[in-house]
Amino acid sequence: MPPTNEQFTQAANHWDLETLYIDLASTKGKRLTPVEKLHLRGLLSGYSPAEIADKLHKSVKGVESEMCTTLYPHIKSLVGKSNEKVENWRNITEWLEEAGYKTQLLAESQ
């Protein structure tokens, strides 16, 4: 299996990952773990938690549980949605896009 920083790298093509990592670290009070970054990149690449688990050969329940207890609360806090319920994993990408973390492709901005 490739190292965690080499998986779901396509997220970097559409998202400002470095700024997002820094802002989430500020919200969390410490840096994201490599696994948290990996799961976040998976979501931002358009994969559901179940698909991420499958690609990583992990338990679906385990990945979903990790995201619900680690990533989701920090993202909700970051985007000012602390009182909102995550109805669907797509809420996370929608909220981050609304918050300005999605980048425009160079071809689109010309």
Q: Are 20 and 7 in contact (CB under 8 A)?
A: no
Quickly count: other Cβ atoms within 10 Å of residue 7's Cβ.
18
Q: For residue range 50-94, list pLDDT tens digits in order.
A: 999 999 999 999 999 999 999 999 999 999 999 999 999 999 999
| Predicted TM-score (pTM) above 0.75 | yes
Q: How far apart are CA 36 and CA 46, in angstroms?
A: 16
Higher pLDDT, 69 or 107: 69
**Residue 91, burial from CB neighbour count under 10 angstroms (0-12, 13-18, 19+):** middle
Residue carrying the six token digits 């980048």: 103
The pair phi, psi for residue 102, each rounded to 5°, is -85, 135
